[in-house]
Amino acid sequence: MKHWLGVALIGAIWGLGAVGIHAWAADDEAAAPKTAKKADSPEAKAPEPKPEPPKAEEPAPPGNADLQKMLDTVWTLIAAFLVFWMNAGFGCVEAGFCRAKNAVNILGKNFVVFGLSSIAFWFVGYAFMFGVAGPDDPGKFIGMSEFMVSGLEADMGTVPRFAHFFFQLVFAGTAATIVSGCVAERIHYGAYMIFAFLLVAISYPITGHWIWGNGWLAKLDTPFQDFAGSTVVHSVGGWAGLVGIILLGPRIGKYDAEGKVTPIPGHNMGLVFLGGMILWLGWFGFNPGSTLAANPKAISHIVVTTNLACAAGLIAATATAWIALGTPDFSMTVNGALAGLVAITAPCAYVSAVYAVIIGVIAGVLVVYAVLFFDKLKIDDPVGALSVHLVNGIWGTLAVGLFAQKEAAGAPGGADGLVFGGGVSLLISQIIGVVAVGAFTVGFSFVAWMIVKSIMGLRVELDVEVAGLDKTEMGMEAYPNYQMLS
């Protein structure tokens, strides 16, 4: 019985299939256009060729311009990542040079500052620095467009707007980290945060616009030159930090009743070593990346001048400290390396390798005597930031006027038109730029610091400073079980 039921079921399925095929064929015939040719017509006998399916369009190989844009963008972003990593270097150097009881506070400032800088520079800073006042007015003093950068704006040169924004952002953040070292170990955490935001949002981009945003210093008869930021970044951070130091006063116990220096040694020179090496590496993004283009000749040249100035600076500082202080002070060695890097930042694309060594040697000598000079004035700079960034930011900027060469690098953005030795007119332009940027930054910083002081005060209370900012302001310690380090 089951056998016959199976046969019947198969037959039913076959029958339904046949009926369906017949119905489908009938519907297809009915749907045919009424103008179809008769079967016996000559045209009906020759089957029409089947249309070929559309072929997927193959992407056209990138042209030279597209390939160059890709290379320029990738190089610019890689360089920006290296500069971003310099935040870790600054954090290590500053924490190592200071006492253990303030380590978390210093590390916190160097971590938070890039977040603050990111919002401030995106919101208004980039607009003030690279915006224009209108189609007929490029804005000699301040930019007024591209607020809250969206990335939809026109490209900057051969790189997308967002790539240019991020590269400039990491530079803006660097200026704020310099201030952190200047005011270490006695400033309220919140006070520094507010000032850093104001610096990156307003002051830094305005002076940056004058130089890199086609502002008035870039339009002098002999344009002011600062290839990678000896003035734009380092001097600005130094000037802002100097005002903060003066308003805060020295740390407790730094100077005795007669004004003599009582050394306050750093707690961890291993951190200083690591931070110095990170910064040295980061500078290979800081200076060569400022080409904003994958220009092999320019990048290679700048890498070498940058490295030579660093090497010469650290050797010169070590030798100078050995002679002046009696020991090859390792803190001076590290700051000598950083001084050479700061000094070569402005002229790196414009000078020969020989001049890079000369610039570095002078920077190494300057940093040692600048530390001693500021101590004589009772200007308490815990990490030597003024000697590194302010003094050698000025020196590097002036070095452009003394040593710039026309064929030094072939880099875009200024090498063309410079002549051997720079010339008197270029040196005058460099002096004008140093004075103008310094005056504006000092004035703005004084107002900003005073506003912050009126809101929440600048300096921590006496008992807080003695106990350490980690326990009191941060609520934690870097070394809770090793009190002897503080």
pLDDT digits (tens, 9 = 90+) for 275-294: 999 999 999 999 999 999 99
Q: Is the pLDDT of residue 370 over 60?
A: yes
Q: Is the pLDDT of residue 13 over 90?
A: no
pLDDT reported for residue 58? 57
pLDDT reported for residue 152? 84
pLDDT reported for residue 28? 42
pLDDT reported for residue 78? 98
pLDDT confidence tier of residue 8, bands split at 50, 70 and 90: very low
Domain limits, the chain: 67-474
pLDDT confidence tier of residue 468, bands split at 50, 70 and 90: very high
Among the ranges given (194-198, 417-421, 476-480), the one the predictor scored with the smallest mean pLDDT: 417-421
Find, among 224, 303, 284, the residue nearest to 83 by Cα. Answer: 284
For range 358-387, the mean pLDDT: 97
For range 158-183, the mean pLDDT: 97
Q: Is the pLDDT of residue 411 over 60?
A: no
pLDDT confidence tier of residue 60, bands split at 50, 70 and 90: low
For range 433-453, the mean pLDDT: 98
Instruction: Tell me if the domain spanning 67-474 has CATH number 3.40.50.410.
Output: no
pLDDT reported for residue 480? 87
pLDDT reported for residue 37? 39
Q: Report which residue type is found at 177.
A: T
pLDDT digits (tens, 9 = 90+) for 119-155: 999 999 999 999 987 666 666 889 988 899 998 888 9
Rounded to an integer, what distance in angstroms lies between the CA atom of residue 299 and that of residue 311? Answer: 18
For range 11-17, the mean pLDDT: 41
pLDDT digits (tens, 9 = 90+) for 422-438: 689 999 999 999 999 99
